[in-house]
Amino acid sequence: MSRLLLSVMGAFAEFERSLLKERQREGIAIAKKAGVYRGRRPSLKPDQANEIRLRVANGETRAGLAREFKISRETLYQYAPVKAENLVGN
């Protein structure tokens, strides 16, 4: 009996969560149409992103650049991705 009750409660929780996500998607769509929802602001300005790309091309370490610009290395890799010809073993 307790397993049945737990399963029913889990099903209701899952259903409520799907309704919540659907309402959230609808709200975001309405906000986008109104021009209110723009998403997250970029971490770097365009001139900073260009500077990072140039400095990576000149051989500076990505970790050092990430520390200097106060961004994560993952964010830096999004601005200056690793090219296939630079990978070792290719």
**Inter-residue long-range contacts of 77-81, CB under 8 Å, 24+ positions, other chains counted:** 79/44, 79/49, 79/52, 79/53, 80/49, 80/52, 80/53, 80/56
Taking Cα atoms as reference points, which of 90, 51, 85, 82 lies closest to residue 68? 51
Whole-prediction pTM: 0.56
Within 10 angstroms of residue 52's Cβ, the number of other Cβ atoms is 22
Each residue's pLDDT, cut to its tens digit, for the chain (90 residues) gives: 999 999 999 999 999 999 999 999 999 999 999 999 888 888 999 999 999 999 999 999 999 999 999 999 999 999 998 876 555 554
